[in-house]
């Protein structure tokens, strides 16, 4: 089991003691996309989302179940090609590959071909995601910059700034307004 996890996971150590753990599509049992459209890198935007439902997950098996349920809903109910987000991030501290760095997503109309869409699994209307989940989002963005997938001058926005929605929740939106690349008027 341990060996399987190692082969399906990208572990990246960035400074400090916490490692960024990106679970690839095979690692969470993603379905095959119906089609893909390449996205040019580096992208100039990062869009922050919450899942609202499914709710927060704190174990890897629960976060995998959340990724699968979002993918099923996006493909079978919305009729999309795949899960809409570029990445999910769970309360287990793992990042989960959705469409990834270089495939156009379906998460923020007008921004899908020039952004990485990151979904913090859970409903963050009134509660703040736990530190490990927020930390993983920061590490994932930094890794994307280091890998030249995200422009170092990227602008970070909440979904509600570009679409009429409550996403990413009032409390999380308040939090991201304090992040260095946050842009009030995208």
Ligand X SMILES: *[C@@H]1O[C@H](CO)[C@@H](O)[C@H](O)[C@H]1NC(C)=O
Binding residues vs ligand X (CB under 6 A): 40, 113-114, 178
The reply on whether position 74 binds Zn ion by CB under 5 A is no
CB of 60 vs ligand X, minimal distance in Å: 28
Chain centroid to CA 130: 15
Nearest distance, CB of residue 37 and ligand X, angstroms: 9
Question: How many whole angstroms separate alpha carbon 33 and alpha carbon 6?
Answer: 24
CA dist 110 → 48, 94, 113, 161, 186 (Å)? 15, 28, 7, 12, 12
The H helix count followed by the E strand count for the chain is: 5, 7
Q: Coil, helix or strand for 106?
A: coil
167 binds, among Zn ion, ligand X, none (CB under 5 to 8 A by kind): Zn ion
* 49 lies in the binding site for Zn ion (CB under 5 A): yes
Closer to Zn ion by CB, 8 or 162: give it: 162
Minimum distance, C-beta of residue 173 to ligand X, in the bound complex (Å): 12
Binding of Zn ion by 99 (CB under 5 A)? no
Q: Is 89 in the site for Zn ion (CB under 5 A)?
A: no
Nearer to ligand X by Cβ, of 41 and 69: the residue is: 41
Q: Which is nearer to ligand X, 16 or 40 (CB)?
A: 40
Q: Which is nearer to Zn ion, 8 or 160 (CB)?
A: 160
Shortest Å, Cβ 91 to ligand X: 19
* 98: DSSP letter: S
Ranges of beta strands (E only) in the chain are: 9-13, 19-23, 43-50, 87-89, 95-97, 115-120, 150-158
Map residues 141-180 to x or -, x wherever contact with Zn ion holds by CB under 5 A: ------------------x-------x-------------
Whole-Å CA distances, 46 to 17, 74, 134: 25, 20, 14
**What is the 8-class DSSP label of residue 134?**
H
Least Å distance, CB 59 to Zn ion, is 24
Binding site for Zn ion (CB under 5 A): 49, 159, 167
């Amino acid at each position: 089991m341990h060996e399987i996890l190692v082969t399906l996971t990208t572990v990246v150590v960035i400074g400090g003691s916490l490692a960024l753990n990106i679970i690839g599509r095979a690692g969470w049992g993603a379905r095959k996309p119906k089609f893909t459209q390449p996205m040019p890198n580096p992208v100039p935007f990062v869009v922050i989302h919450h899942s609202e439902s499914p709710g927060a997950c704190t174990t890897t098996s629960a976060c995998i179940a959340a990724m699968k349920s979002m993918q099923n809903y996006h493909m079978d109910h919305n009729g999309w090609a795949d899960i809409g987000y570029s990445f999910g991030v769970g309360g287990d501290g793992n990042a989960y590959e959705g469409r990834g760095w270089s495939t156009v997503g379906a998460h923020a109309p007008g921004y899908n071909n020039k952004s990485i869409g990151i979904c913090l699994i859970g409903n963050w209307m009134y509660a703040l995601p736990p530190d490990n989940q927020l930390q993983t989002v920061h590490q994932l963005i930094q890794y994307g910059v280091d890998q030249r997938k995200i422009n170092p001058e990227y602008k970070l926005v909440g979904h509600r700034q570009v679409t009429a929605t409550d996403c990413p929740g009032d409390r999380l939106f308040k939090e991201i307004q304090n992040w260095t690349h946050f842009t009030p008027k995208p």
